[in-house]
Amino acid sequence: MSAIKEALVQAAEALHISSPAATEKDGTGVQVYVDETQGNDETGDGSKASPFATPVAALLSAGPNSSIFVKKVLVEGEAPAEGVDADGYAPISAAGAKKAKKGYEVALKKQKKAQEQAEKEKEKEGQEDKKLEESKKIVLEEPAGAEPAKKIKIHQGVQNRDKRVKVCGWVHRLRSQKGLTFIVLRDGTGYLQCVLSGKLTQTYDALTLTNESTVEIRGVIKSLPEGKTAPDGHELVADWWQCIGKAPGGDESFTNLVAEGADPSILADRRHLVIRGETASAVLKVRSKVLQAFRAEFEHQGLTEVTPPCMVQTQVEGGSTLFSFDYYGQPAYLTQSSQLYLETCLPSLGDVFCIQESFRAEKSHTRRHLSEYTHLEAELAFLSFDELLAHLEELICGTLERVFADPKTKALIEQLNPNFKMPSRPFMRMDYKDAIKYLNDKKILTDSGEEHKVGDDIAEAAERKMTDDLNVPIFLINFPREIKSFYMKRCPADERFTESVDVLMPGVGEIVGGSMRMSDQKQLLEAYKTEGIDPAPYFWYTDQRKYGTSEHGGYGLGVERFLAWLTNRWTVREASLYPRWTGRCTP
Ligand code: 4AD
């Protein structure tokens, strides 16, 4: 076949155009039919029975010298116009033929270009395959006479500059530029830019390296010249490295699996991968420091840490949110709060606290409710309600000061929440009744669209609106008895209300719930009755009033809510390692 003929057949094939049924391939004298309305370039063959839709397709199929006939519109009852056959076909006009030829030439050129491109790519692939094959032969050796590398974690980089070190970690980011490979390495303690050059970039592992692979890199950490930036202002100039575990590329690559903006339920399934990201890991690091700071602040204030049980047979915050299970044939629950146990510790250990998981079978899908959350609770003896509030203020501010005193944590919080403002003391104190008035004055309605009245439980939306409007931490105090728990002490001035407090923070709402407790045994027994609680299983709690009672009070702080406020997270789920909520108990 001639080169032109071959190109023609290929062009036609590329455009899915079939050869004319009863024609010859060289085109000379071949008649080919085009029907612009009924024809089809892909399925047609250029016969009258199966015409093409365009003259270009006709030329590509039958050749540049073929004779094109185009279908005309026949008017019923009228004889066909001159030159038009009985089926309505007439030779293509001179202008039509010229246009078709032009189109045909363009199509041929396109085809040629595509072919050349494909060939180039094939050649390149061949070269790459060869390069990969060659790369397998490269074996890296440590430089002769190099000092032994000292094993360090990334956060120890600054004090180990200009010494030979080895660092292990995960490839957080990867980039090749001008014959160099830049790896941002992550080991959980920080990020380190590493530069590979020369032979180090030519090994099989270097050519096929992927994000999230694990590597060991040896070399010397050098400060960066001015104007260049990298974490901690330095980079590891590698002289040897090895891949420990290669992560998948392509469809299964890490970046494909946890793409930003992906469906939240998919990201929840892949939480084990999401936590490797800069934002999620920053929140978890802040969480760790916050827990340390709370413990240090409690220690400073003389409270002792205890670890109460999570499996219990008593309720604290109402039966509706209890998770129950079978405990050797007896009904038992996952704890809602360790408060009752903390109260029993007062005569033994003095003021106490615990940081323990609490469980709530919350049916609500809100952004601040978890089914399992970390509950920081404390109980203090021989104090007044005012002293309890002062202690809470001291705890929150003292903890924040400790957190911000650590430069790394401060930087993480600034990264997550650049607008965070340290709360100023004293916190605003707002009586429950004043809050009801505030909501009504501001036309903030109940969930069912009504005005608030004294006795209402202020719903999440209204509480959040009020807190966001006021935009400062608030001690909301003295809630009515009916909407609070059975154990709360009544206000001496008006027994319809309780010495209770919710701490509200902008953006989240309630982060702490606390109160003074009933110290009188008789009053507590009555409270069980009113609540319909059988006092028998609570004998140990009641005994706390029997064997030397005292005025006492305490509170529970939702650690994820505190963190959502501090790190400006949309939901408390982001502040939990593996959050559990309605319907999700995995991974
Ligand atoms: O107000 P609550 O229910 O109070 C108690 O459990 C008391 N017994 C605590 C005590 O006095 N020792 O819960 C206290 C705090 C809330 O303010 C909130 O921050 C958090 O616990 N919390 C939750 N956090 C996440 N998900 C949930 N489902 C939560 N329920 C309460």
Over the stretch 28-76, which tens digit does the pLDDT of each residue have?
678 999 999 999 999 999 999 999 999 999 999 888 889 999 998 877 7
Q: Which residue has the higher pLDDT, 23 or 90?
A: 90
Which ligand 1 atom sits closest to the C-alpha of 555?
Answer: 11
For 190, 193, 236, 477, 500, the CA distances from 161, given in Å and listed in that order, are 15, 13, 9, 55, 55
Question: How large is the average pLDDT for residues 257-284?
Answer: 94
With contact defined as beta carbons under 8 Å apart, do 498 and 490 qualify? Answer: yes
- Tell me the two tokens of residue 549: 């009672």
Task: Please state whether 250 falls in left (phi above 0), alpha (psi between -120 and 50) or beta.
Answer: left
Angle at 561 between CA 556 and CA 567, to 5 degrees: 135
Asked if residue 587 has a cis previous peptide bond (ω within 30° of 0), the answer is yes
pLDDT of residue 7 exceeding 50, the answer is: no
554 lines ligand 1 (CB under 6 A): yes
**Exposed, middle or buried, 410 (CB in 10 Å: 0-12/13-18/19+)?**
middle
Query: Residue 178, Cβ neighbours under 10 Å: how many?
Result: 5
Query: What is the pLDDT, as a whole number, of residue 75?
Result: 77
pTM score, whole prediction: 0.83
372 lines ligand 1 (CB under 6 A): no
Q: Which residue has the higher pLDDT, 354 or 25?
A: 354
Q: Which ranges constitute the DSSP H helices of 447-538?
A: 460-470, 521-531
Label residue 3 by pLDDT band (50, 70, 90): very low
335 lines ligand 1 (CB under 6 A): no
341 vs 308: CA distance, rounded Å: 6
Q: How far is the CA of 174 from the centre of ligand 1 (A)?
A: 44
Label residue 81 by pLDDT band (50, 70, 90): confident
With contact defined as beta carbons under 8 Å apart, do 574 and 280 qualify? Answer: yes
Q: How far is the CA of 405 from the centre of ligand 1 (A)?
A: 28
Q: How far is the CA of 512 from the centre of ligand 1 (A)?
A: 7
Q: For the chain, what is the mean pLDDT?
A: 92
Point out the least confidently predicted range of 40-54, 283-297, 343-357.
Answer: 40-54
The percentage of residues in the chain with a pLDDT greater than 90, rounded to a whole number, is 84
Beta bridge pairs of residue 34: 52, 70
| HSE toward the beta carbon, residue 484, CA cutoff 13 A | 26
209-228 as b/e, with b when 16 or more CB fall inside 10 Å? bbbbbbbbbbbbbeeeeeee
Q: 525: Cβ–Cβ under 8 A, 6 or more apart, which residues? A: 535, 542
Query: What is the pLDDT, as a whole number, of residue 6?
Result: 54
Q: What is the pLDDT of residues 157-194, one digit of tens each?
A: 999 999 999 999 999 999 999 999 999 999 999 999 99
Which ligand 1 atom sits closest to the C-alpha of 502?
Answer: 17
Query: What is the pLDDT, as a whole number, of residue 319?
Result: 83
Q: What is the pLDDT of residues 480-535, one digit of tens each?
A: 999 999 999 999 999 999 999 999 999 999 999 999 999 999 999 999 999 999 99
* Ligand 1 atom 17: residue of nearest CA: 512
Label residue 260 by pLDDT band (50, 70, 90): confident
**Exposed, middle or buried, 473 (CB in 10 Å: 0-12/13-18/19+)?**
buried
Residue of 337, 479, 516 to mutate, ligand 1, most atoms within 8 A of C-beta: 337
Amino acid of residue 476:
L
Which ligand 1 atom sits closest to the C-alpha of 321?
Answer: 28
Residue of 339, 373, 475, 502 to mutate, ligand 1, most atoms within 8 A of C-beta: 373
Query: What is the pLDDT, as a whole number, of residue 24?
Result: 45
Point out the least confidently predicted range of 70-84, 108-122, 410-424, 482-496.
Answer: 70-84
172 vs 188: CA distance, rounded Å: 11
468 vs 424: CA distance, rounded Å: 16
Query: What is the pLDDT, as a whole number, of residue 560?
Result: 98
- Tell me the two tokens of residue 188: 């959980």
63 lines ligand 1 (CB under 6 A): no
- Tell me the two tokens of residue 11: 């062009």
Which ligand 1 atom sits closest to the C-alpha of 371?
Answer: 28
Query: What is the pLDDT, as a whole number, of residue 8?
Result: 45
Going across the sheet that includes 304-305, the strands are 304-305, 352-359, 372-381, 552-558, 509-516, 500-505, 474-477, 428-431
